Amino acid sequence: MKRNIINVRLSANENFYGCSPNVFKAINSQTENISLYPNAPLKLKEVLANKYNISANKLIIGAGSVRIIENLILTFVKDDEEVLIFDNSFVAYKQLCSFHNKKCVMAKLDNGRCDPKKLLPLINKKTKLIFIANPNNPTGTIISHNELESFLSEISPEIIVAIDEAYSEYVFDDNFPDSIKLQEKYKNLIILHSLSKIYGIAGIRVGFGIADEKNIVKMSSKMLPFTLNTIAEAAAIASIEDDNFIENSREKNRINLKYLYENFVKLGLNIFPSQANFIYLWFDSEKEKDCFYNVLAQNNIIICDMKVFGQPNAVRITIGDNKVSRKIICLIKYEFIRNLKS
Ligand SMILES: Cc1ncc(COP(=O)(O)O)c(C=O)c1O
């Protein structure tokens, strides 16, 4: 009999547990409207405004947060101006700058962290936009409230700082920034969120930004009409409103992240302390990394080989459930480490 081999996909930082079952009901409830153009996403804005206790005028919605990242580049950076990012951070910042012919200046991470102090010497008159992923993808590390605030207090209010919180719902460190509070004080701060991670609707494409009302007006003028479709708005509302599903995903992630982290440390592997739904490991050589990757791939566990992002010695693993986490540690302990020693 032919056996179906199903790959466990741990390569793209999606929610391992899928999405809230309410999302399917919400999608079904909208099928009768699909021949009509979508309305402006006012309902979704209202839900988000209530959730964050802000005015709906401080929100912009996009088909995924990458669309808002692109929008920021188009809105705030002229041809001869510069965008400042970290060199081992979310790859879309650099890709979208290059797509739109904007110069990208890169700061080095500090021990896997987007330490904003590293940005200061690189700021000049041409710097118009800064991206900081918090937690950072791929390292999973965070910067604290105080670090972000002291950076904001030191730079010109003319420079837009986009703090990308795509993974913030997973964070359990109390020092994580209260970015909504900071945004009230620093009008140049723009917060980005994604519904592709803990909310589990990556395939539907929804993201949003929170910014000063004047900046939202500027950004909206560069947004394509009908950017959010009817099904996506309904799915987004259902996923945001299911607190149980979110809390459950967050807690399971916390437990399995801790389990993997502690075991990888015990096994002597190089790893950053992540606060997200993935972890980053690096090896002494590409050969060692390939061996680690292959041990998992041969057992149908597909992780992200960071070679595609120019880091041939590193991998990023999305956190799965108990069963898959235990399987990973077993395979690494008994196959990878044994291969290394032999
Ligand atoms: C830091 C970060 N920001 C944004 C995104 C993009 O999210 P979306 O699917 O909402 O475009 C990702 C996706 O991997 C990410 O890692």
Res. 2 pLDDT band, cuts 50 70 90: low
Cα separation, 310 vs 150, whole angstroms: 32
Given a cut of 60, is residue 279 above it in pLDDT?
yes
Any idea how long the chain is? 342
Q: Find out whether 315 and 22 touch, Cβ atoms under 8 Å.
A: no
Give the CATH number of domain 21-241; options: 3.40.50.300, 3.40.640.10, 3.65.10.10, 1.10.760.10.
3.40.640.10
Full-prediction pTM beyond 0.75?
yes
How many angstroms does the Cα of residue 342 sit away from the middle of ligand 1? 40
Residues with CB under 6 A from ligand 1: 13, 64-66, 90, 133, 137, 164, 166, 194, 196, 202, 207
pLDDT in tens, 101-112: 999 999 999 999
Side-chain-side CA neighbours of residue 318 (13 Å) = 19
pLDDT in tens, 36-81: 999 999 999 999 999 999 999 999 999 999 999 999 999 999 999 9
Radius of gyration over alpha carbons of the chain, in Å?
21
Contacts of 3 (CB under 8 A, 6+ apart): none
φ, ψ for residue 191, nearest 5 deg: -100, 135
Whole-angstrom CA distances from 271 to 10, 27, 167, 173 are 17, 40, 18, 18
**Quick one: angle between helices 286-297 and 322-331, nearest 10?**
130
Cα angle vertex 57, ends 151, 22, to 5°?
A: 100
What is the identity of the amino acid at 282? W
Of 151-155, 183-187, 208-212, 338-342, give the lowest mean pLDDT range: 338-342
**Residue 204 falls in which region: left (phi positive, over 0), alpha (psi -120 to 50) or beta:** alpha
How many angstroms does the Cα of residue 297 sit away from the middle of ligand 1? 24
Given a cut of 70, is residue 3 above it in pLDDT?
no
Given a cut of 90, is residue 338 above it in pLDDT?
no
How many angstroms does the Cα of residue 66 sit away from the middle of ligand 1? 6
Q: Which of 44, 71, 137, 275 to mutate to test the pocket of ligand 1 (most atoms within 8 A of CB)?
A: 137
Cα separation, 271 vs 6, whole angstroms: 28
pLDDT in tens, 284-330: 999 999 999 999 999 999 999 999 999 999 999 999 999 999 999 99
For the chain, give every domain's residue range.
8-16+244-341, 21-241
Pairing of strands 270-271, 301-305: unpaired
8-16+244-341 falls under which CATH superfamily? Aspartate Aminotransferase, domain 1 (3.90.1150.10)
Cα separation, 127 vs 146, whole angstroms: 23
Pairing of strands 270-271, 278-282: antiparallel
173-185: average pLDDT: 98
Res. 257 pLDDT band, cuts 50 70 90: very high
Give residue 4's pLDDT.
62
Q: Report DSSP state, residue 130.
A: E
Instruction: Return the ligand 1 atom nearest residue 206 CA.
Output: 10
pLDDT in tens, 244-254: 999 999 999 99
Q: Which of 90, 179, 199 to mutate to test the pocket of ligand 1 (most atoms within 8 A of CB)?
A: 90
How many angstroms does the Cα of residue 2 sit away from the middle of ligand 1? 37
Burial class of residue 341 (count of CB atoms within 10 Å of its CB; 0-12, 13-18, 19+):
exposed
Residue 209: strand, helix, or coil: strand
